[in-house]
Chain A
Amino acid sequence: DTGVSQNPRHKITKRGQNVTFRCDPISEHNRLYWYRQTLGQGPEFLTYFQNEAQLEKSRLLSDRFSAERPKGSFSTLEIQRTEQGDSAMYLCASSRRTSGGGLEETQYFGPGTRLLVL
């Protein structure tokens, strides 16, 4: 179990550019979540997948944001035409959805990708 990994760890971009982040979940986890965390705040939910299906999107996820999980393994989060307000830490988490629920549903977080839009 190597944990959740995210790449890149840091990204600096200019306003108007597109950026893409990648998340690799824990191998047996079928659920994958994206959160955004601004400085000094708790993470806020963006979207989540069960296998390859995107089941929920937050209102925070504007049209400039798109997430995919094409084969039910890794996921990408793309931000088009970045704005300075997009500067934040983008966190990925994964969990294992079971029929009985329980604490196996606990989400484990990656190290995050810190985005700075100049």
Chain B
Amino acid sequence: AQTVTQSQPEMSVQEAETVTLSCTYDTSENNYYLFWYKQPPSRQMILVIRQEAYKQQNATENRFSVNFQKAAKSFSLKISDSQLGDTAMYFCAFMKLYDKVIFGPGTSLSVIP
């Protein structure tokens, strides 16, 4: 069975600084997808960034980028130029082809003015 681990329950970062959230996963699959979802307080789960396992190039979306290390089964999220609106729970998630999403326990990120 697949598992997703996020070892940082809480993190904080100063506004405009850079922060990296860690995620590791365990799977025997070769083809799969990885995601970072953001869930602001009392608000909807939003997709931040996604990565296909067969692609070596790390995904980027504006201020968000990932460091995908397939051999190490590591998928960290880097947020550059942190903004107050980035305050949220961040969930790392795994999905094998045509299947359900398995979420990690989440990291609560606070951006400090």
Q: Please give the residue numbers on chain A whose beta carbons come within 8 Å of chain B beta carbons, in ascending order.
A: 33, 35, 40-45, 48, 56, 91, 93, 97, 101-103, 105-112
Contact = CB atoms under 8 A, between A and B. Distances in A.
B105 A56 contact: no
Given A110-B44, A111-B44, A103 B105 contact: no
DSSP class of B's interface residues: helix, strand, loop or mixed? strand
Contacts of A41: 105-106
A26 B112 CA distance: 35
Nearest to B45: A109
Contacts, number: 54
Interface residues of B, number: 24
Contacts of A35: 101
A105 B97 CA distance: 8
Contacts of B102: 45
